[in-house]
Structure 1
């Protein structure tokens, strides 16, 4: 590398060091120099570890020419870079700090709309692959499809709303608050677009830090307990997933001769064991799924959620409900169902029963008994996300399509509910239902908006909550995976809709209607223009999606149909080829067209020769025929 090239590589680090040296006010020279040195080496380290664009040419498959391959890098990197840049802005410059954060949020959201410029045909879009840690087979591999598209846009849309709301109610540590929101947004987007399991795991864990801080620093009276409980639950699941991930990667190495954490490579592996036995296949399925069930959360792993929501600031609750919980449902569909299709299919009836009894019905009944409005909304999330998981367990195209739509709908409606609960909490500093009554008389606009969002949460036709739940129930009713339990599951889900109407409307009646008995409520101001501005985009989307659901469904339909068809083929193949002691490979012909684009190619000559020999022995044909591996390696 030439001297000029070396300077260019180190230029970001030099700039960071200079900025760090000149920004602090009234600091001693040694403090300035120390900060400059730390900043220089921090940025230099990030630059050294970050995948370089120059290596991209060595990888065959990237995005289509019309799709800018660096778009997802921008969506992930810009918020994280913005969080780092905020470290060098003095905390006293509050307007600059907030303005900078708004600017990063705005650019990220506008850039995410670029994803809508292409048709979401089956396969991957805006794909970018760069070798990162070659010796471990780790690559920077990001892409979107119709399944992750709307979740990425939901993240870029709701996070700035949450930050905007927080700036109105939180007056301390604003700089740190902005850093937390930016870091959280970048990590969540990274989790949605990562197709390398190592990269996914990094972002999955990175999310915990800013959310832990949001709850632990700006939360309520029991914030420390809630933050630790949230962290311990999610970290426990993550450790199990990491262990299963390492085993899966090792098995793939024994099978193919290459080290790879790539999702597309690992989906071709059938682990030893029968789907309904307790072999490696089942254990790894549960290790992954438990991590995701905790994040959803599913009963009985849900106990951290009500405490986290109750103690989190309004902005933290919005992000937690709107986006972070969806990472559990998305990850189950993307990873558990694709990596372990036979086990996912085998346990689907049981898990569907848990989703109904422990999620939809239990969540609704517990929500009905809550006196804290925020806690009620938290338990309603357990019920609503039970619908999403039911759609995934049923594994029909319509059910999964409804599940994806309901992820977005829940994020919008429940995010708006938490926002509106925060409005009344800022005025009364209580969320107890018994403290209110007749609020519609003094806060008519606020009451109107709350009723609209409540109707969306219930799923009234014309609002966004209706079509998703309808598709899930319809898909459940015809699901072959749920066998003869399908009708009972659909009936239980329908009962959950009725219970949702009961507990939500009962709360609305107690809070907003009837006599204005509490004198403390007589002088309350109606919703302010700032608060109206925050909730208005969510209200608009409630009706846009409710009246024109095809705007979203048309973008995800092709990917969901391809995924559903592929899941049925690969699960049946894995059941037929299941072996108690030997791992095998699913041939590429079982995957839909374009799915394996970007999968790493075997480098080991022996593995390649074995694959070629297997093809020759079976008469060739499309794709690689299954290989088996035992303790001795590839055979």
Structure 2
């Protein structure tokens, strides 16, 4: 099992290097470009198969235990080790990363974004996958930092070279924000490693902050939390996200929302909560307050973009919706309860599935109509996708209602558990304050329903007050490769909504192990 997990992380790196060779070992296609794109799909598909084997070999009776472990000394002088392992917290995110990357590679075989060579695109995509998988698999603080940073360069180039209008500025904003946050985070990680006497995340979590003074924990949580909050993104450190999503190619937006944002919240659960619990307890009310503001802010921004005449960009609207949805994740983490943290982890996975599907759909809509401007979409599509593309329109509505948290779909459980955790936070946290945050979160769910239903009405159903300027005769409905790339996300959204115990059964024992002093 240890070798299997190591192969999951290393294979994309080898595939990335192979994609740059003069004759990459991809499947033969109509030309070199098609061959390298098929190479990307093949490698990501193999990684997904290995990840599924990892799931099948995982001991589901002991999800709190670290499994598939590899522990090799790397820098003895600093006690830095090549330490891999998974538990019930990291396994779902590992599978989500492998799945979304494979679907993006498969989609790109038929619809690669315009830009430079396919070799560079595939190499960056595989390098990005290696970084994300390593982030969820490593158990050493320094390796975590390296993997955390590893994803920045490929995502920067995917935006800057294969993105749309405004891609240069968006890419620079993305890299500067995340690099500045990471510099601060590195200081916090070094402080924990030096003061704690080890960089091993398992050993530090087992100590539960016993070897760290209160002041050390405060400084560490502040530093590490700042870097993680930028990547999450938490209001008011979110301003890089809308520009990055708007400019990124479709697959870039899918991976940015579905995988990269999860790295920040995962760091809170894996490092900050178990390693520095006293520091987290001090800052938890402030984290919850910023999370609640983010929920309201993101929803209001989306409502402003969705109204008629606002020239709102649909990709930008979904990006702002991510600020609100990730606010629920941060609120769950801030409660420091088993219920809230489980809700945060569930919402993480649900957001990756649903928002990944939404960005796929919006990208395909732009390919068909040439725009993501809501006002122009109403004219270009005749504001009636149900009539022109019934299957496409139906799937867009499905993704929208899943995003607003309809019971029976994946989006419901995470947000509900996060709010439930806020109703009864950990001992020592102000319950009246968290009740206010819970109420703001509940208002946010209503606002979310408002803007998503407004988008559905304008784009899918039509508005009598809007008159199309130029309606094409036909718009192609869902194509075969789109069906193949989108169906797994829709199916998993339904399965997670109807069978939440499958995911919670993995995360809950692991969360109880990470938060041993919490009774609920």
CA contact (8 A) 2:44 2:105 kept: no
1:116 aligns with 55
1:156 aligns to 2:98 (yes or no) = yes
- The equivalent residue for 1:625 is none
Cα drift, residue 84 of structure 1: 0.9
1:170 to 95, 113, 117: 113
Q: CA deviation at 1:486?
A: 2.6
2:198 matches 1:248:
no
Counterpart in 2 of 1:94? 33
Does structure 2 retain, via aligned residues, the 8 Å contact 1:391–1:399? yes
Distance (Å, rounded) in 2 between the aligned partners of 1:482 and 1:344: 14
| Structure 1 residue 418: Cα displacement | 0.3
1:568 is displaced (CA, Å) by 7.7
* Residue 482 (structure 1) shift: 4.2
Give structure 2 stretches of 5+ with no counterpart: 25-30, 306-311
Task: State how far apart, in whole Å, the 2-side matches of 1:234 and 1:467 are.
Answer: 30
Q: Specify every segment of 5 or more residues in structure 1 that has no aligned partner in the other structure, as ranges.
A: 1-67, 254-259, 570-635
Whether 1:286 aligns to 2:232 is no
The residue number in structure 1 matching 2:28 is: none
Match of 2:353 among 412, 425, 431: 412
State the secondary structure of the residue aligned to 2:73.
Answer: strand
Q: Does 1:401 align with 2:353?
A: no
- Alpha carbons of structure 1 residues 541 and 121: separation in structure 2 relative to 1, 3 Å: closer
Residue aligning to 1:615: none
CA shift, 1:521, in A, is 4.1
The alignment partner of 2:43 has SS state of: helix
Partner of 2:303: 368
The alpha-carbon deviation at position 538 of structure 1 amounts to: 0.9
Among candidates 84, 87, 92, match of residue 145 of structure 1 = 87
The 8 Å contact of residues 405 and 415 in structure 2, kept in 1 or not, is answered as yes
Range 289-298 or range 83-92, more displaced:
83-92
Q: Return the alpha-carbon distance in structure 2 between the equivalents of residues 487 and 362 of structure 1.
A: 18
Indicate conservation of the 8 Å contact 2:384/2:459, yes or no.
Answer: yes
Aligned-partner Cα distance in 1 for 2:453–2:43? 39
- Partner deviation per Cα, 1:132-171 (whole Å, 9 max, x = no partner): 1112211100111111110000000011112223341425
SS of the residue 2:71 aligns to: strand
Match of 1:478 among 418, 424, 446: 424
d(CA) in 2 for partners of 1:270 and 1:377? Answer: 42
Tell me the TM-score normalized by structure 2: 0.91
The aligned counterpart of 2:235 is 299
The residue that corresponds to 2:200 in the other structure is 262
Q: Which moved more, 1:299-308 or 1:327-336?
A: 327-336
SS at match of 1:519: coil
Measure, in 1, the Cα distance between the counterparts of 2:410 and 2:141.
33
1:166–1:314 contact (8 Å) kept in structure 2: no
| Bigger Rg, which one | 1
Distance in structure 1 (CA, Å) of the matches to 2:99 and 2:510: 22
Shift of 1:490: 1.7
SS of residue in 2 equivalent to 1:319:
helix
Shift of 1:252: 3.4
| C-alpha separation in 1, matches of 2:441 and 2:40 | 41
